[in-house]
A and B are shown apart, each in its own frame.
Chain A
Amino acid sequence: MNHSADDTIKIRVSDLSFSYRNRPVLKNVTSDFAEKSITALTGPSGVGKSTFLMTLNRLWEDLPGASMEGKVKIRLQGRFRDIYDRSMAITELRKKVAMVFQSPNPLPMSIRKNVAFPLKLAGERDKGVICRKLEQALRMANLWDEVKDRLDDDARALSGGQQQRLCIARALILEPEVLLLDEPTSSLDRRSTAIIEELLTGLKERLTILVVSHYLEQVVRISDRVVEFADGSIVSG
């Protein structure tokens, strides 16, 4: 455990290598990521950006044929922790390191059930708490005013941009410390993209955000730091 690490560092990745079905995807990636900032991960398709995100919440472990070497430490609740250590429960890690996928993926449920879903997984039964956190998360995702009167409608009836904000609200409801976003605006129009960019800029006050993006203008607009990937390694940033 590294207690001497700089207090502003949230994530420390050392010598991270990753392969999928015996094909190397990431090679010796080493980098630190600052707390309460937005880091954009850029680079051509297939260079390992999305895979890199999956190593930060161990989601790759649910893909057959993948293997990883190296260390990832994340400061969680004030303590630097090796997320691959046996003492780290994977479900707890994913509650603190939330992820939003490329295409909006609301579950086939109502808006209310979708956003409250992580609370259900965590065993929360108090309806008062659920309602309060639901409103809080939807407000943080700038979606409350648009859906407050139709919380029991099917989430899939929302527009693409609204669905992606719903997914962000769902990721925020457990009050994570890190938010990973894999090209969150790639399937959205210009207006929805602008809303989500504004939302992310607001969220960095509370969270450490890593966002994979292909769009150079977007990267310049919203990020504090740009990390460029090429051929499985970080080439700049």
Chain B
Amino acid sequence: MKRGILEKLTVWFSWAAGLTLLSAVSVLLGYLLLKGHEALNPALIFGETPPLRALLLRERVFDGLFPAVAGTLVLITLSIAWAIPVGISTGIYLAEYAGGRVKRALDAFFDVLAGIPSIVVGLFGFASAVFLHRHFSERIGPCLLISSIALSFLVLPYIIRTTQAALEGIPRDIRLTALALGATRLQNIFLVLLPKSLSGIMSGIVLAIGRCAEDTAVIMLTGAVASAGLPRSLLSQYEALPFHIYYISSQYSDPAELTRGYGASILLLFLCAALFSAAYGIRKGLTHFTLYRP
């Protein structure tokens, strides 16, 4: 009898937790749409500039979010590009090669890395920029390159952990299949284990993309500014959507500007959704390519 009640309570609690989460997300999205829908038009992104001319980089956008969208996209691409090879390689090392004390030490180290607050990573990036400016070249300062490297540090643990967990979760039979057929350890990793783990690894990459897209603390210290135009080089400062949203929410001068801030938030959500879809598409294509191509 007691057990029956406990089971029912658990089911109810699980339902309630799920529903609460769903409602919270719906309320958030609804609120953003309610507040920002008026700003959702091509002018929000391109301002007075004709969209095609802006997209072809023929004309500069002054009063739209186009430079911030471009800055965010470039920033995410760069950060993920640094983090993927290092993260996946480290995950492979931890799951397939490291053992005993080394593994325990590295596990602890990556747990610490995962727990570092982003503002501390930002400060470290800023300090590095100052150091490089003083000792190497005056051209180096807070910039896209420093931001992307700092962000990649922030998201590395996600990619390392998901790669490691995906590889370690492969059943023993599958793990031994290729080895029993004469595969070397490396062939086993690249031809069987990694393709089989793509789904898990990709979820880590998706998490990393989300984190790169939303993080403000790191970029505000390492190169994001309110007005810089399109990113010109790795060593230039840049605009980014989360920084723009932060900037507007703290310094807006009239209600119209705040509405544009809500619009920018919706735009950031769309951008993330588009990147997630692209990541899943790539995963599907990559799995098919690695496992099924004739």
Chain A positions within 8 Å of B, measured between CB atoms, are 57, 59, 62, 64, 91-92, 94-95, 98-99, 101-103, 105, 107-110, 112-113, 117-118, 120-122, 152, 154, 170-171, 174
Contact = CB atoms under 8 A, between A and B. Distances in A.
Interface string B169-195: 000011111111111110100011001
A121 B191 contact: yes
A105 B196 CA distance: 13
Contacts of B99: 64
Contact of A107 (B178, B179, B187, B294): B178
B181 A98 contact: yes
Contacts of B174: 105, 107
A108 B196 contact: yes
Which interface residue of B179, B182, B192, B291 has the most chain A CB atoms within 10 A? B182
Nearest to B287: A108
Nearest to B293: A113
B82 to A, nearest CB: 30
A174 B182 contact: yes
Given A95-B182, A121-B182, A107 B192 contact: yes
Given A59-B176, A101-B176, A91 B291 contact: no
A37 to B, nearest CB: 22
A117 B292 contact: no
B184 A91 contact: yes
Contacts of A98: 180-181
Given A107-B192, A110-B292, A110-B294, A62 B176 contact: yes
B176 A121 contact: no
A140 to B, nearest CB: 16
A91 B181 CA distance: 8
Given A113-B291, A113-B292, A59 B173 contact: no
A62 B173 CA distance: 12
Contacts of A92: 182
Contacts of A109: 291-292
A108 to B, nearest CB: 5
Given A99-B180, A107-B192, 5 more contacts: A57-B180, A91-B184, A102-B173, A108-B291, A121-B178
Interface in B185-215: 185, 187, 191-192, 195-196
Nearest to B292: A110
A107 B254 CA distance: 61
A64 B192 CA distance: 19
Interface of B: 99, 173-185, 187, 191-192, 195-196, 291-292, 294
Contacts of A112: 294
A117 B291 CA distance: 11
B181 A171 contact: yes
Contacts of A170: 181
A58 to B, nearest CB: 10
Contacts of B173: 101-103, 105
Contacts of B179: 59, 62, 94
Contacts of B181: 94-95, 98, 117-118, 121, 170-171, 174
A98 B180 CA distance: 7
Contacts of B178: 107, 117, 121
Contact of B294 (A95, A103, A152, A154): A152
Contacts of B196: 108
Nearest to B174: A105
Contacts of B192: 107
5 cross-chain pairs, A with B, having the tightest CB-CB distances, nearest first? A95-B182, A94-B182, A99-B180, A118-B181, A91-B182
B177 A101 contact: yes
A106 to B, nearest CB: 9
A36 B191 CA distance: 33
Contacts of A57: 180
A115 to B, nearest CB: 11
Contacts of B185: 62
Contacts of A152: 292, 294
Contacts of B191: 117, 120-121
A99 B177 CA distance: 9
Which interface residue of A98, A102, A109, A152 has the most chain B CB atoms within 10 A? A109
A121 B195 CA distance: 15
Contact of B182 (A107, A110, A122): A122
Contacts of B184: 91, 121
A41 B192 CA distance: 30
A74 B192 CA distance: 29
A120 B191 CA distance: 10
A105 B182 contact: no
B187 A121 contact: yes
A209 B127 CA distance: 67
A121 B180 contact: no
Contact of A105 (B177, B183, B195, B292): B177
